[in-house]
Amino acid sequence: MILSIDQLSVRKGEHTLIQQVSLSLQKGEWYALVGQSGSGKTLLAQSIGQMLPPNLKASGHIQFMGEEMLGMPSARVRALRGRSLSYVFQDYQGSFTPFRTISQHFDEVLRTHTASSARARQEQALEALESVGLDEGLYSCYPSQLSGGQLQRVSIAMALLLSPDLLIADEVTTALDSVSGHRILQLLASKQQQTGCTILFITHDWRHVKRYAERIAVMKAGEIVESGSKHRILDHPKHPYTQRLIQNSPTLPIPEGFLPSGLEEANKV
């Protein structure tokens, strides 16, 4: 087990935003956390990496690779984030500083977590860009010079740069068009196969859940109302909320043909 959350609650003053959530992730699996906007999915994700705003307080237990995250010293948290635990956010553009080049963003991550030489850091960054289907010419660009799909691929390359054990992908396709979104998820699936990392996939899109997830937890108003294998949840949902979400989900099929090997199309996104 790579991640175990036990009785996690998040409060803002007297208001409870997450109520005694418990779930666990196994090494190498794709685990989907599903729910409508405002259900608490992102707060749960932020809690794992100790990224909650200061006015929110978490209680309970979060065990990541055998270490308790709640109350962990900030230096240790910073050491884990980026190396063992990485994030790809819906607002991926907010992860970039506009006046810094892509190369400077990569270099900051590598200088923080490795003792590699400048040349080795550059080579590693260029390899990471190539692995997500991006040309090395983008290395010296500023974020504003890249398309949305390209910038999302850069954020994935940075998140996977040091082969993390757990990748938290929070609504990574919401800001993209349908085709770009499918390509991004194919890319994540390909990188997962290569590295064996665990993915916590936060989404409201059941089409993506159906295609990629192995297990599912359904979140409503800060609580997990149902969890289980993908086939059990999709074929025999028990909770009325889950039933309603599935019934109201889009029925359009996910396009086929965007295979992980087809990264030559990446620069068009």
Task: Using DSSP, state whether 47 is helix, strand or coil.
Answer: helix
Indicate the DSSP class of residue 81: B
95: tokens are: 């992860």
pLDDT value of position 261: 41
pLDDT value of position 156: 87
Cα–Cα distance measured from residue 73 to residue 229, given in angstroms and rounded to the nearest whole number = 35
Sorted by sequence, the CB contacts under 8 Å of residue 247 that are 6+ apart come out as none
What confidence tens digit (pLDDT) does each residue in 19-34 have?
999 999 999 999 999 9
pLDDT of 255 higher than 50:
no
Beta-strand ranges (E) seen in 48-197 are 57-64, 67-68, 85-88, 166-170
Which of 112-116, 180-184, 241-245 comes out lowest in average pLDDT? 180-184
239: tokens are: 């909770």
pLDDT of 249 higher than 90:
no
pLDDT value of position 143: 94
Give every strand in the sheet of 67-68, ordered side by side. 15-25, 3-12, 57-64, 67-68
pLDDT value of position 83: 87
Average pLDDT taken over every residue of the chain: 89
Cα–Cα distance measured from residue 27 to residue 30, given in angstroms and rounded to the nearest whole number = 9
Average pLDDT over residues 96-102: 94
Q: Are the CB atoms for 163 and 197 separated by under 8 Å? A: yes
Sorted by sequence, the CB contacts under 8 Å of residue 38 that are 6+ apart come out as none
Average pLDDT over residues 123-139: 91
pLDDT of 108 higher than 90:
yes
pLDDT of 195 higher than 50:
yes
Domains annotated on the chain, with CATH: 3-268 (3.40.50.300)
Average pLDDT over residues 95-103: 93
pLDDT of 234 higher than 50:
yes
pLDDT of 103 higher than 80:
yes
Average pLDDT over residues 55-80: 95
* CA 10 to chain CA centroid, nearest Å: 20
pLDDT value of position 179: 77
pLDDT of 11 higher than 60:
yes
pLDDT of 254 higher than 70:
no
pLDDT value of position 4: 98
Q: How confident is the model at residue 45 (pLDDT cuts 50, 70, 90)?
A: very high
Give every strand in the sheet of 198-203, ordered side by side. 85-88, 166-170, 198-203, 30-34, 215-220, 223-229
Task: Using DSSP, state whether 192 is helix, strand or coil.
Answer: helix
Which of 37-46, 134-143, 187-196 comes out lowest in average pLDDT? 187-196
